[in-house]
Structure 1
Amino acid sequence: MSDRDDADAALMLALLNDPAFIRHIADRGVRTLDQARDYLRDGAVRSYAEHGFGMYAIRRRDSGALIGNCGLIRREGLDGPDLGYALLPGHAGQGFAHEAARAVIADAGGRLALTRLRAIVNPDNVASIGLLQKLGFEFDRMIVLPHVAHPLDLFHLHLPTEAAA
């Protein structure tokens, strides 16, 4: 995984306009490369500076090709960072999101010294719920976040502290 930058704009444009992304996450209204660059600068790049974390590019080990993103997000309405991930079509179900999420979780408990992570998911996104459960997340409750029209499932994961590790 690597930090996001302007070079990732084409990937973001494809990812943000994937029908599965729009259905399970949201339509961000990003339709051009310039909008994708702005989306990266205003999202991931700004988050690195403000919080020390953000969304990271997922690359295939064999080719280095960008295939998605995974990382931590600070969202209005949540009391801490949440895990997010998305893959381009054709890369789901192959373990890429699981491997990337495990790296993000390790970073959260290590470098960032967090004790808990959250994750939100549309209740009909069975694959994402399965991944969260495989990662050790537990269902907490349904919530409604600001600027989101429908309820979401909220999951949490307790991270071991340095003293307990």
Structure 2
Amino acid sequence: MGTIILETERLCLREFHVEDADFILKLVNSPNWIKFIGDKGVKTIEDAISYLVDGPIKSYKENGFGLWLVQLRDSKVPIGMCGLVNREILEDVDIGFALLPDYMNKGYGFESANAVMNYAKNVLKISRIVAITDEDNTSSIKLLQKLGLSLEKKLVLSDADSVFLFSPSDNF
């Protein structure tokens, strides 16, 4: 049911597949996703399938990594996504994460993101991982700092959009 990438004490991260469209529809339309990441226009199951095929699934083929589904290890209940993104706007690979509201503030974000950072460094041999986040997303900022990333600069993406770029304080 999708290639398992890594497991932690409480979580399992695996590749997305089109059968995860229901979950994606729920996640990308959750309040914090809309507020901090933006409306991706994913309103139907067909939209969610396209999002998966053109996003994470395409990234697995092109980069050997991508955003992975985060699920509870024992029950297999999907709770979010976490993984690596190769964006054209950034020089480095960045880490991304999002959880459904019911699973926030329980340590799952750090647990999954820390495991992804270690996987990137030790398995994929990626020398530098950065992150971008909305400047008002204090939860994300705290998590990035806990991962050892520091605010490097504000990136202006367009007249109406800017984000904070976080990078390793040392050599990752």
- With normalisation by structure 1, the TM-score equals 0.92
Q: How does 1:81-96 map to 2 (within 5 A)?
A: 81-96=93-108
Identity %: 41
1:32 aligned to which of 44, 50, 54: 44
Q: Offset at 1:62?
A: 3.0
Task: Show the counterpart of 1:154.
Answer: 165
Cα RMSD between the aligned structures? 1.3
SS of corresponding position for 1:90: helix
| Bigger proportion of residues as strand | 2
1:80 aligned to which of 92, 95, 107: 92
SS of corresponding position for 1:84: strand
Equivalent AA in structure 2 for residue 107 of structure 1:
Y
Q: Offset at 1:145?
A: 2.8
Q: Offset at 1:159?
A: 5.1
- With normalisation by structure 2, the TM-score equals 0.88
1:121 aligned to which of 133, 137, 142: 133
Equivalent AA in structure 1 for residue 14 of structure 2:
S
- Mark the CA change 1:65 to 1:112 in structure 2 (over 3 Å): closer, same or farther: same
Q: Offset at 1:63?
A: 1.1
Task: Show the counterpart of 1:16.
Answer: 28
5+ residue gaps, structure 2: 1-12
Q: Write out the 4+ residue segments of structure 1 that deviate beyond 3 Å after TM superposition.
A: none
| 1:4 matched to 2:10 | no
Any idea what the Cα deviations from partners look like across 1:59-112, whole Å, max 9, x if unmatched? 012311001000011112100111000001110011111111111111110121
Aligned residues: 159
5+ residue gaps, structure 1: 161-165
